[in-house]
Amino acid sequence: MDETAKRAVRNLVILGGGTAGTMIANKLRHRLARTEWHITVVDRDDEHHYQPGYLFVPFGGCSPEQVVRSRHSFLPDGVDFVIGSVDMVNAEGNVVLLEDGRQLPYDQLVIATGTTPRPDQTPGMLGLEWRRSIFDFYTLEGAEALADALSRFDGGRLVVHITEMPIKCPVAPLEFTFLADAWLRGRGLRDRVELVYVTPLDGAFTKPVASAHLGGMLDERKVLVETDFMVERIDDEQKMLVSYDEREIPFDLLVTIPLNMGADFVARSGLGDELNYVPVDKHTQLSRKFDNIFAIGDASDIPASKAGSVAHFSVEIFVDNFLQHIAGRAMTGAFDGHANCFVESGDDKALLIDFNYDTEPLTGKYPLPVVGPLELLKETRVNHLGKLAFRWIYWNVLLPGRPVPLPALMSMAGKHPATQREKQEA
Amino acid sequence: MPTTTIGGHEIHVNDEGFMTEYDEWTEDLGQALAAQIGVEMSDEHWQAIQFLRRDYPDQGETATLRRVSTVGGIPTKQLFVLFPKKPAKKMAYIAGLPKPRGCV
């Protein structure tokens, strides 16, 4: 390559080869000329996990082979895949520094390094009882260890606990609780188990209408709910959760969702908020500090669910915006915070909820108005099959960046705003 | 949006009673709002409320407990002492800010 050509080629560096990073690499490689843009994806390993699959692992419903594939196999030709840990981003100098000393200069940077459970942030969580009577299921190892513990569990207090919001997939702790209830019933153990759901929120979920609905489902299943519980520490000798206002919740088996935080390099680079999330414009996801840094997926501070569906819908908007941005034009797309989550409710049924920054989860049909086939905010078998089918769609359609026939922005067609009564109950 | 009168001031509030207009707030009003929910304001209380007031215009969101503790420098434990039971909500209410989202 001669000097002129070298200067002409620009670098797009994508940190993170997860859902958002992989989709972006695939979509942009098709839209950016190779003679004009190099694309590099950086991740610390070559294991891409289908994280929604973790939920079924504790109940023996999903094998590790079904949830892990290699990252590079989902990246197209013409994208460099670099395995390495990011030390920091020098945003003034437009260069990423890796821990092994390598430097990756960029013209445009996408931070898509997600969010990670951090059990080290709560005193006592990583103590003697970690993976003995205290488990997480947001990592594959945690979910596998929990499967083992559940298979030996024959009664007592099973406590499901959320440390602090926001967390990845905010419905997963509820789903776990519903599945645990069904699983215990199936094994004839339900009467010997006290199921407790402990949350820092003032209800079962974050959005009022869905919270009332899902809270009702916990009541039906005789799950005790402890709200407004901000854990200060875990007393691992007495096996109990202790809150800042000195409430105590004993457990025999604790399934906790640790504090979630963005990557530490984000903090080291001065690009993060108090939880290492990158502050961005919530419609374009462009950094509020730097004009050539975007944060997509769970890594940003947008007030939307940290979930694969949000990553997916926001990438659709991002790609067109990015092309306008690098051409020096104003970005015209505006992401609306659209999230779309299946909620497993046990006994091979699931609900589906669909919401965005401004609109509560609605009842109705999805994705096609009236026809469905999926029902919003209702437990059905078809929704459960939809959730299971999604794993195939994820690996084969979504990650490769092929068009998924779901609109990125939320549609109101065929949906019904919650009734006044539902709102009041909420 | 409904309006209500607190401490002689007419203010705009949402259906949960949280103020909706940042600029309608004054310290007097904060004092009156605190009295409504049984909080007696000390210097330490004001320190937290002033942090929330300063932080909001920059962030566009009401600070979470974690932000008040890590950025504002008041330990979470102390926030539970100052504003018992539901510190995040109580602080937002007194500071005339929306209920913190921190929960999406």
Strand order in the sheet with A240-243: A231-235, A240-243, A248-250
Integer Cα distance of A171 and A189 in angstroms: 24
pTM comes to 0.92
Residue A421 clears pLDDT 60, i.e. is over it? no
Residue B37, min C-alpha distance to chain A (Å): 17
Read off the pLDDT of residues A80-136 as tens digits, 9 standing for 90 and up.
Answer: 999 999 999 999 999 999 999 999 999 999 999 999 999 999 999 999 999 999 999
Option in A228, A303, A306 nearest B101 (CB) = A303
Contact B67/A at CB under 8 A: yes
Least confident of A15-19, A236-240, A416-420, B82-86: A416-420
Structure-token pair, residue B63? 């600070």
Integer Cα distance of A282 and A305 in angstroms: 12
Phi, psi of A230 (to 5 degrees): -100, 110
Query: Of the spans A203-212, A223-232, A384-393, B9-18, which averages the highest pLDDT?
Result: A223-232
CB B15 within 8 A of CB B75: no
Residue A426 clears pLDDT 50, i.e. is over it? no
In this complex, do B85 and A245 lie within 8 Å of one another by their Cβ atoms?
yes
Least confident of A137-146, A186-195, A340-349: A340-349
Nearest residue to A355 (alpha-carbon basis) of A289, A415, A400, A420:
A415
β-strands A293-295, A339-346 pairing:
unpaired
In this complex, do A245 and B103 lie within 8 Å of one another by their Cβ atoms?
no
Q: How confident is the model at residue A298 (pLDDT cuts 50, 70, 90)?
A: very high
Whether B94 sits among the annotated catalytic residues: the reply is no
**B2 CB-contact burial (10 Å; exposed 0-12 / middle 13-18 / buried 19+):** exposed
Catalytic residue among B43, B58, B103, B104: B103
Integer Cα distance of A365 and A376 in angstroms: 6
Q: Please state the rounded mean pLDDT for residues A360-371.
A: 75
Q: Could you say which residues from 176 to 215 on chain A have a Cβ atom under 8 Å away from some Cβ of chain B?
A: 200-202, 206
Contact A403/B at CB under 8 A: no
Option in A206, A232, A279 nearest B77 (CB) = A232
